[in-house]
Structure 1
């Protein structure tokens, strides 16, 4: 499936509705609710079995997903702000709660559950600026330099903050 061309038009999310999806341990979609289909513009047939990055917007820095996957692969839940892209190229920002799903017998990670909601414009402005800076660094210096910048950004806030808690920490500072 060909990736859409991004357009500079935001999809306004309903603050009373959640976008929900589940993936297997490799990130392939195994469930999505009707609101996810509605907002993304993809049919259930297009989404099922597809990598969740089908909705990844090119404005998202790679370091965010690198650290996100490191965190959830280690068995830790995480919250993150993500800019996604719909099938028609429009975008939408979401606050996502990633939860690990484990096999009850073995304790092995078998997938991930994500529920998303809209976020405040104030927090979004901070995140958008940070992500733009990280993306700029990645394009010129690479992902490792972007990670170093992010770590220093968090340290400059006065605490030794883990990426897993970045969104909660940003809420505190702004």
Structure 2
């Protein structure tokens, strides 16, 4: 086990991951709130149950207490770049429980702003993801990104990620929506670290939800329709 520190100086023991999914009620919506720095300010009972932490252990702690080492760093960079720009975001994430188990979720991140338009907090709602989506799409992609990060850091994984999405002819949010809907065209390109990296400059916009398409808005609204605030 390893220790890291939260913003208040208290040490937190990070569990050693084990290859076992936690048992949880996948009909539930897992919810949490954080400040703009990622420190947890509120959680619902579903979050407590699946994470295996008590609520008192979570409040005030950095949200990365549940970050799983199988997650590529580039995914969180993209996530935070969008959130700090004031954009809502959706991502498929593997999380870590207190005992080292894991769980996969699709997360809807919604930013909270003050009257000046500055981001002051984030609300996150999470639903379960079908195993098919993980096995056929997300796990191979994230494993490739992790391998590339070990070889050349986030610069290399970012280049690959952009090229992967560019060949899919969609941005990351639309890619996520398609694989969740079992769109047979969602995986036009297999995730493979041996694919030659393009020298073409691809904009960071491919990671962003710059415009809210009606199709995407309706899809995620239906997905999280049953979620109530804490």
TM-score for the superposition, normalised by structure 2:
0.71
Match of 1:55 in 2: 66
Given candidates 135, 138, 146, the residue that maps to 1:127 is: 138
SS in structure 2 at match of 1:22: strand
Greater RCO (CA < 8 Å, at least 6 residues apart): 1
Match of 1:9 in 2: 20
Match of 1:26 in 2: 37
Between the aligned partners of 2:83 and 2:174, the Cα distance in structure 1 is 12
Between the aligned partners of 2:143 and 2:94, the Cα distance in structure 1 is 11
Match of 2:116 in 1: 106
The runs of 5 or more residues in structure 1 that have no matched partner are none
Once the two structures are superposed, the pairs formed by residues 33-44 of structure 1 within 5 Å of their partners are 33-44=44-55
The answer on whether the counterparts of 1:79 and 1:165 sit within 8 Å (CA) in structure 2 is: no
Please give the per-residue CA displacement for 1:46-73, whole angstroms capped at 9, x wherever unaligned. 1111110000000000000001000111
Between the aligned partners of 1:166 and 1:100, the Cα distance in structure 2 is 21
SS in structure 2 at match of 1:142: helix
Between the aligned partners of 2:23 and 2:159, the Cα distance in structure 1 is 33
| 1:137 Cα offset (Å) | 0.6
TM-score for the superposition, normalised by structure 1:
0.93
| 1:97 Cα offset (Å) | 0.4
The runs of 5 or more residues in structure 2 that have no matched partner are 1-11, 188-230
Compute the RMSD of aligned alpha carbons. Answer: 1.4
The 4+ residue runs of structure 1 with deviation greater than 6 A are none
Between the aligned partners of 2:153 and 2:14, the Cα distance in structure 1 is 23
- Count of paired positions: 171
Match of 2:75 in 1: 64
Between the aligned partners of 1:167 and 1:12, the Cα distance in structure 2 is 24
